[in-house]
Structure 1
Amino acid sequence: MTTSVSVTLDGVAWHTPDGRCLFSDLTARFDGRLTGLVGRNGVGKSVLAQMMAGLRVPSAGHCRRVGRVHYLPQQVAVIPGQRVAELAAVDNVLAALLRIEAGSTDPADFDAVGEQWMLRETLQQALFDAGLEGVSADMPVDKLSGGQRMRVALVGALLQPVELLILDEPSNHLDLAGRQWLAAQLRARGQGVLLVSHDRLLLAEVERIVELSPQGLRSHGGNYASYAQARAATRAAAETLLQQRRHERRKGEQELRVQRERLEQRSARGSRDAARANQAPILLGLQRQRAEANAGRARQQLQQRHAGLDDAVRQAHAQLDAPPPVLLMPALLPGGPEWVVRLEGVRLPWSDPAQPALDLSLRRGQRLAVSGANGTGKSTLLKLLAGQCEAVAGNVQVAVPAALLDQQLAVLPPQCSALQGLRESNPLQEEAVSRSRLSLLGLDAAQAVLPSARLSGGQRLKAALACVLYADPPAQLLLLDEPGNHLDLESLEALEGLLRQYRGTLVVVSHDPAFLQAIGIDATLQLDRDGWRLQPA
């Protein structure tokens, strides 16, 4: 890549339609280095990425680009009847190639093709390399799974003739092989990529990490390991400073209290002496006025010193990040059947007819991970256990209340607010309790009543998770389909902590080994070429 690329932010700000300031006064420069953009859910990473790609205009400030930029959103929009070439955003070039091959001499067709004369062959090879054997440019997208669609979109993005790719949460919906493939593609490209992600596997490949927070943008040289180390050191230093400022305030308040008592004693003594003094009334009045003025100045100085101590604590506290989200443990009924799930000779709908039947039994409290390549039926299995679809063959028994958090977050429709969704899942819960639980997740009073479509991906996932966890009756079989998608690192750690304490039966689809290890998975169900395999974790 020979063309230089840069995106420069100069005092950039963004205000939401309701007037809320998402971020302000951002000044930074992004060059061709492979860069990761991280930050808490809802802080504005996607908005900033779209602004850098020229898809949004800043509310204030300027964003200047040098070089061509292509942006891939975190949610791949699929239109009914859409073909693979359209999803990959290469259909215009392929259509121009066909017209040229048919004899077109239109300059617009040649401009559209540019240097991509071998795009048809390149696309097919790239699809194969991405693990999409048998997928062609003309294939309907609705035949592909969510993970396969994301791979197609990524293949298309990587083929764009641009100097800067902005990829927004690109590993969402990808299986482990897909994440490894994407990491290899980033290594091969080497530069010209801005990666909005919290995927530790991908962030290990970057040269620089930029963190967006309410305090602005902070740049860290190196990959995720060096960023995590620097961030931990920064937080430790901020906590030490805060404790020091609080100690100084306590000590200062004690000293101010003593000085205030002495001042009051001197003032009282002066009043008594003046009352006993044998002086003319006019002189006594002037003396009293001078004493009161001196006492007033002394009190004002004490108040200023106290305000200074408070201000020092506030400034130290501002250097700390916002507290991590809190997920409360749902209250489960004691006891229940020993065997929660029994599947005998089950064949999943929409699966390959050659796929072997599934036999599976789960005990109360068991923790199962379901793994396998994209498109093998993992999400369908969870829907089957949740009662949202029926088996083609076999017997399905689920003996306890089940709740499913799917990848599309169907439990929280786009037009539904977080508060409304939580109230519908638990009508007897007081509204104040619902609001409190959403607040602990980082959703303030205004965000709790917004249509969920206006929340960030991570905020909407946390709201949907609350609808599942705090439902009435509480789920004794919890089904989670890629729950780490969209979550920032702090939220992911909070989810890990809650799932470690969950005492119901857990079935989770995830391709994050660190996440599965953290929540204490005790068995893995994997579908491969030899069929279903259940093995200890």
Structure 2
Amino acid sequence: MTTSVSLTLDGVAWQTPDGRCLFSKLNAQFDPRPTGLVGRNGVGKSVLAQIMAGLRQPSAGHCRRIGEAYYLAQQIQPRSGQRVAELAAVDKRVDALRRIEAGSTLQADFDAVGEHWTLCETLQQALADAGLHDVDADTPVDKLSGGQCMRVALVGALLQPVEWLILDEPSNHLDHAGRHWLAEQLQGRKQGLILVSHDRLLLQQVERIVELSPQGLRSYGGNHAFYAQARAAERAAADALLQQRRHERRKGEQALRDQRQRLEQRSARGNRDAANANQAPILLGLQRQRAEASLGKARAQLDQRQAQLHDAVREAQADSEAAAPVLLLPDVQSTGPEWVVRTNQLQLPYVAPALRALDFQLRRGERVAITGANGVGKSTLLKVLAGQLPALAGEVSVQVPMALLDQQLQLLPAQCSVLDTLRLRNPTLAEAELRSRLALLGLDADLVQLPSARLSGGQRLKAGLACALYADPPAQLLLLDEPGNHLDLEALAALETLLRQYQGSLLLVSHDEALLQAIGITARLHAGEDGWHWQRD
């Protein structure tokens, strides 16, 4: 392997097929330090990562890389009938090793193996370390869950003989144990590592964070804690500058109004004096032309000054963060029954026998995190509580209006606009009030008219919350399934703000411990190997 690795972006730009410029004039230098690449949804992080890996060519500029790169996409798509070795991208070397063991003397097989004579044993051990004890190179991926497939793909990425590892949202489908396993694996990596991620656990371990925004790339020499502190300071400074510019505009506009008034008065007085003067018409005409030219020049100067005041405010607004979303909360905590959910001898479908039986009661205002490994039935539980799946046996009693926001956000029909969906859920509220409430969430007049499928993940989540809480009647119980998946750091912060404001009851499936702590959970319902366990925080 090359010991000196580097990656340089020189004026890199990318245009979408319809001609929209996603980013331009990106200049940056990457060294072997573990680096997090962050930015809001839709700014082009995945496209930039693929350019850095050599999978795309930039529309302009150059990407120069010393060392080979391996890119793992955030959405892996296993093929039916595919083996684990293929999903891990080590099948050519594994198959070549087996042919050599069977007696092959082909040079192509030896070239494929290279120096990796213990790959089969290394792969098996790596799968076991990842918690995949019953999986080997020949296991069909059809037998694996989505989280298990992601672990296999990550094991393969970590085994690649490359200098650069570029991982795009690698922890999205991992459970709590999987996230910690991945963090441990990346911690020991010595070569180049670029993480496109919003996972604060992973970002806490990097040595540098690079933020992509419409203004370009900006580097922060530290982990997530350092980045968050630096961004908070920048936001405070930007907000202060914005307030200063707005104050200057108000004072400036008042001064301009006074100047315009004096100018118009002086012009009117000059016209009256000229009309009363005993001068030849030709001289009066010349005087009037000079006066009008002078007046026009003065007016243009005032207009220019006013435009400068507006430009200064717009520039400050571009640097300032958007206002935090505001949720106009219905009064849900102080009303209704004491117990909002009760189950009686409930038996869940599609889960292991040890996890079928579950009985619990949820008190009004409680915030419960549902935790456990991938595939244990957390999402199934939410669907049974919501009435979307029938229980094998037993009863579920929900005493208050509720809403399920699953990972696909089926509450929002893909081709229906947010405004139309909300209007159907609350036909009594005036459209102007609906628009006003959506605007407070950051969903402006244009966004609420678009089909929901065209909104970003963060925008759809805000819209789903609006449709749940502004319905008639409003949801007093929210069932949330991995709401933080695919959200950028800014959208995650907005989600935490919204959920902290909500005063009803929460049942929340999430592997993001930072999110759970931020919203103030009061209890955990954990799915273990021997069944469900209730833990009060």
Return closer, same or farther for 1:438/1:87 CA change in 2, 3 Å cut-off.
Answer: farther
**Which residue number corresponds to residue 32 of structure 2?**
32
- Relative distance call for 1:498 and 1:178 in structure 2 (3 A) is same
- Kept in 2: contact 1:340–1:363 (CA 8 A): yes
Distance 2:48 2:449 in 1: 23
Q: Distance in 1 between matches of 2:422 and 2:95?
A: 48
Residue number among 395, 416, 419 corresponding to 2:417 in the alignment: 419
Report the Cα offset of residue 465 of structure 1: 5.6
Contact 1:447–1:455 (Cα < 8 Å) also in 2: no
Shift in CA distance, 14/468, structure 1 to aligned 2, threshold 3 Å: farther
Q: Which residue of structure 2 lines up, in the alignment, with residue 497 of structure 1?
A: 497
CA 1:435–1:26 in structure 2 vs 1: closer, same or farther (change >3 Å)?
farther
Aligned equivalent of 2:207: 207
Matched with 1:246 is 246
CA distance in 1, matches of 2:423, 2:275: 74
Which has the larger displacement, 111-120 or 156-165?
111-120
Q: Does 1:269 align with 2:259?
A: no
Q: 1:324 to 1:103 in 2, by over 3 A?
A: farther
- The answer as to whether partners of 1:74 and 1:169 remain within 8 angstroms in 2 is yes
TM-score, normalising length from structure 2? 0.88
2:188 aligns with: 188
Q: How far apart are the structure 1 equivalents of 2:33 and 2:449? A: 38
- 1:365-384 CA-partner distances (Å, limit 9, x unpaired): 33211122333332232232
Shift of 1:321: 3.3
On the 8 A contact 2:404/2:479 being kept in 1, the answer is yes
Change (3 A) 1:144 1:400: farther
Which shows bigger deviation, 393-402 or 420-429? 420-429
Q: CA-to-partner distance for each residue in 1:260-286, whole Å, 9 max, x for gaps?
A: 233223323333333333333322322
Q: Is the 8 A contact 1:421 1:467 kept in 2?
A: no
Q: Which moved more, 1:325-334 or 1:293-302?
A: 325-334
Partner SS state of residue 189, structure 1 = coil
Check whether the contact 1:411–1:421 (CA below 8 A) recurs between aligned residues: no
Alignment map for 1:244-393 (pairs within 5 Å): 244-325=244-325, 329=329, 336=336, 338-355=338-355, 357-393=357-393
User: C-alpha separation between the residues in 2 aligned to 1:266 and 1:376?
Assistant: 82
Whether the 8 Å contact between 2:32 and 2:190 is mirrored in structure 1 is no
1:288–1:352 CA distance, 2 compared to 1 (3 A): closer
Alignment of 1:454-469 (within 5 A): 458=458
Aligned pair in 2 of structure 1 residues 271, 53: CA closer, same or farther (>3 Å)? Answer: same
CA distance in 1 between counterparts of 2:61 and 2:435 reads 35
**In structure 2, what is the Cα distance between the partners aligned to 1:275 and 1:284?**
8
From the superposition, tell whether residues 256 and 341 of structure 1 become closer, same or farther in structure 2 (CA, over 3 Å). closer
Deviation at 1:38, TM superposition (A): 1.0
Q: Structure 1 residues 132, 104: closer, same or farther in 2, change over 3 A?
A: same
**Structure 1 contact 203–223 (Cα < 8 Å) conserved:** yes
Letter in 1 for 2:256: L
Answer whether contact 1:347 1:392 (CA < 8 A) is retained: yes
Quick one: distance in 2 between partners of 1:215 and 1:426? 39
Q: Retained in 1: the 8 A contact 2:32–2:192?
A: yes
- Answer yes or no: is the 8 Å Cα contact 2:333–2:364 preserved in 1: no
Q: What's the offset of the Cα at 1:36?
A: 0.7
Write the deviation string for residues 227-258 of structure 1: whole angstroms up to 9, x where unpaired: 11211121222222222222222222233233
Unaligned runs of 5+ in 1: none
**Within 2, Cα distance between the matches of 1:284 and 1:446?**
58
Equivalent-residue separation in structure 2 for 1:455 and 1:54 (angstroms):
29
SS in 2 for 1:283: helix
Q: Is the 8 A contact 1:12 1:60 kept in 2?
A: yes
Query: Which residue number corresponds to residue 54 of structure 1?
Result: 54
Superposition map of 1:427-442 within 5 A: 440-441=441-442
CA RMSD, aligned part only?
3.3
Residues 422 and 471 in structure 1, CA contact (< 8 A), matched pair in contact too: no
Aligned-pair CA distance for 1:394: 4.3
Tell me how far apart the structure 2 counterparts of residues 60 and 116 of structure 1 sit (CA, whole Å).
Answer: 38
- Give the 3 Å change call, closer, same or farther, for CA 486–267 of structure 1 in structure 2: same
What is the alpha-carbon distance in structure 1 between the residues aligned to residue 438 and residue 150 of structure 2?
30
What is the one-letter code of the residue matched to 2:67?
G
The equivalent residue for 1:92 is 92
Residue 535 of structure 1 pairs with residue 535 of structure 2 = yes
Q: Deviations over 1:400-426 (max 9, x none)?
A: 55433333555568xx34627973994
Q: 1:394 to 1:290 in 2, by over 3 A?
A: closer
Q: Structure 1 residue 35: deviation in Å?
A: 0.7
Mapped contact 1:418–1:451 kept (Cα < 8 A) = yes
5+ long unaligned stretches in structure 2: none
1:228 aligns with 2:203: no
Q: Deviation at 1:210? A: 0.9
Q: CA deviation at 1:41?
A: 1.8
Matched, 1:518 2:518: yes
Q: Which amino acid in 2 is paired with 1:40?
A: R
How far residue 148 of structure 1 moved from its aligned partner, in angstroms, is: 2.5
Tell me how far apart the structure 1 counterparts of residues 18 and 479 of structure 2 sit (CA, whole Å).
36
Structure 2: distance between partners of 1:176 and 1:187: 17
Query: In structure 1, what is the Cα distance between the partners aligned to 2:416 and 2:351?
Result: 34
* Counterpart contact for 1:435–1:448, Cα < 8 Å: no
Q: Deviations over 1:33-71 (max 9, x none)?
A: 211111112222222222322333333433333322212
The change in CA–CA distance for 1:179 and 1:274 in structure 2 (over 3 A counts) is: same
Whether the 8 Å CA contact 1:346–1:396 is kept in 2: the answer is yes
Q: Is the 8 A contact 2:172 2:486 kept in 1?
A: yes
Give TM-score, length-normalised by structure 1.
Answer: 0.88
Asked if the contact 1:340–1:400 (Cα under 8 Å) also holds between the matched residues in 2, the reply is yes
Amino acid aligned to 1:20 = R
Distance 2:230 2:57 in 1: 33
CA distance in 1, matches of 2:501, 2:71: 39
Query: Structure 1 stretch 456-465 or stretch 84-93: which is displaced more?
Result: 456-465
Aligned-partner residue type, residue 309 of structure 1: L
The alignment of Structure 1 onto Structure 2 pairs a total of residues equal to 534
The Cα shift of 1:181 comes to 1.8
Q: Distance in 1 between matches of 2:423 and 2:349?
A: 28
Task: Write the letter of the residue equivalent to 2:61.
Answer: G
Q: Is the alpha carbon distance of 1:81 and 1:535 closer, same or farther for their aligned partners in structure 2, counting shifts above 3 Å?
A: same
Question: How far 1:475 sits from its partner (Å)?
Answer: 4.0
Moved more, 500-509 or 168-177: 500-509
